[in-house]
C-alpha cells in the first residue's frame, strides 16, 4: 500500500510512525484507518521492531476525527466508522511490542483515543488533551468511554467526557493520563531514550509483561495471577536463563 498519511522510520529496532495531514491537523479519516491497518499488517509482527513510537507532524498529535467526513453520515455509517476505529485501535493495543505515544500537540477526541490505545504516553509541555465530543452532540466512538475510566478512574473520566474540557500536559500527568512531560524540543529525544532503554531488556519478557498486564485487566485477580505464573515460568531455561547468567557473571545479556 502507498502511505499518504503515515510515514515510518526504523532505526536500531525502534519504529517511529508519524501521522501527517497538515491541513486537517492530522484528523482521523477513513484513509488514516486504511493506512493504519495496512501498517499493522506490514510491520506489526516484525521481530526486528522492538518498540513503536507514534507522533504527529506539526502542531497536533491528532486533533480529532475528521468532522467534515462524519457530518453527513447516517446512524449505520456512524456505527461502521466506530467499529473500524475500535478494531484498529484494538489491533494497535494488542501488538506484542510496547507502543509509546509522543504527544506533540493537540490530542483531542479520536486523537486522545489513539493515545489511550498506546501503552505509554510522553507529552510535550504544549500538549492538550480532551474528549470534546459532547460539544458536537456526540459521544466518543473509538473506545474512549472504555479506556479513559480504566486509566484515570471513573470520576476523572466522566468529568472530562461530560464537560468536554481540555486539559494541559501537567494536569494530564497529575491524572495519570501521561507518564512524563518534557519541553517540546525534547519530546522525540525523550521518547527515543525510553525506547532504547526498552530494547536493552529481555525481548520476550517485555512482550509478556505487556500481555499479562493487558489481559489481566480483563480477568479477576486470581485468574490474572495464574496467567502471571504461567508466563513467568515459561522464561526459565530460555531468555531468563541468559538474563540471570549474565547478571551473576557481571556481563551484558546476549538476547
Quick one: cell of 33?
A: 484507518
User: Is residue 218 annotated as part of the catalytic site, yes or no?
Assistant: no
Contact assessment for residue 46 and residue 90, using Cβ atoms and an 8 Å cutoff: no
| CA 126/CA 124 separation, integer angstroms | 5
3-state secondary structure of 232: helix
**Of the residues 12, 42, 113, 228, which is catalytic?**
113
Buried b / exposed e along 79-117 (16+ C-beta atoms within 10 A): eebbebbbebbebbbebbbbbbbbbbbbbbbbbbbbbbb
Q: What is the Cα–Cα distance from 200 to 37, expressed in whole angstroms?
A: 28
CB of 168 closer than 8 Å to CB of 127: yes
Active site residue 45: no
Annotated active-site residue in 35, 133, 190, 239: 133
| CB neighbourhood size of 162 (10 A) | 11
DSSP secondary structure letters along 133-177? GGGGT----SSHHHHHHHHH-HHHHHHHHHH---EEHHHHHHHTS
Catalytic residues: 113, 133
Amino acid at each position: 500500500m502507498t502511505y499518504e498519511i503515515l510515514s515510518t522510520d526504523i532505526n536500531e529496532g525502534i519504529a517511529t510512525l508519524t501521522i501527517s495531514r497538515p491541513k486537517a491537523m492530522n484528523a482521523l479519516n477513513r484513509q488514516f484507518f486504511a493506512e493504519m491497518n495496512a501498517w499493522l499488517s506490514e510491520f506489526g509482527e516484525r521481530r526486528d521492531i522492538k518498540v513503536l513510537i507514534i507522533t504527529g507532524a506539526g502542531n497536533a498529535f491528532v486533533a480529532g476525527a475528521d468532522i467534515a467526513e462524519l457530518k453527513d453520515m447516517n446512524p449505520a455509517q456512524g456505527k461502521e466508522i466506530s467499529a473500524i476505529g475500535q478494531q484498529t485501535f484494538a489491533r494497535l493495543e494488542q501488538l506484542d511490542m510496547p507502543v509509546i505515544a509522543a504527544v506533540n500537540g493537540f490530542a483531542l477526541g479520536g486523537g486522545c483515543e489513539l493515545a489511550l490505545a498506546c501503552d505509554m504516553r510522553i507529552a510535550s509541555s504544549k500538549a492538550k488533551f480532551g474528549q470534546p465530543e459532547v460539544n458536537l452532540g456526540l459521544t466518543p466512538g473509538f473506545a474512549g468511554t472504555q479506556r479513559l475510566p480504566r486509566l484515570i478512574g471513573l470520576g476523572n473520566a466522566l468529568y472530562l467526557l461530560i464537560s468536554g474540557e481540555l486539559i494541559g500536559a501537567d494536569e494530564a500527568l497529575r491524572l495519570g493520563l501521561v507518564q512524563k512531560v518534557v519541553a517540546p524540543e525534547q519530546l522525540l529525544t525523550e521518547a527515543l531514550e525510553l525506547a532504547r532503554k526498552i530494547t536493552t531488556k529481555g525481548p520476550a519478557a517485555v512482550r509478556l509483561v505487556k500481555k499479562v498486564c493487558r489481559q489481566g485487566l480483563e480477568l479477576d485477580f486470581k485468574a490474572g495471577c495464574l496467567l502471571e505464573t504461567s508466563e513467568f515460568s515459561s522464561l526459565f531455561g530460555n531468555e531468563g536463563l541468559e538474563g540471570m547468567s549474565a547478571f551473576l557473571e557481571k556481563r551484558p545479556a546476549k538476547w
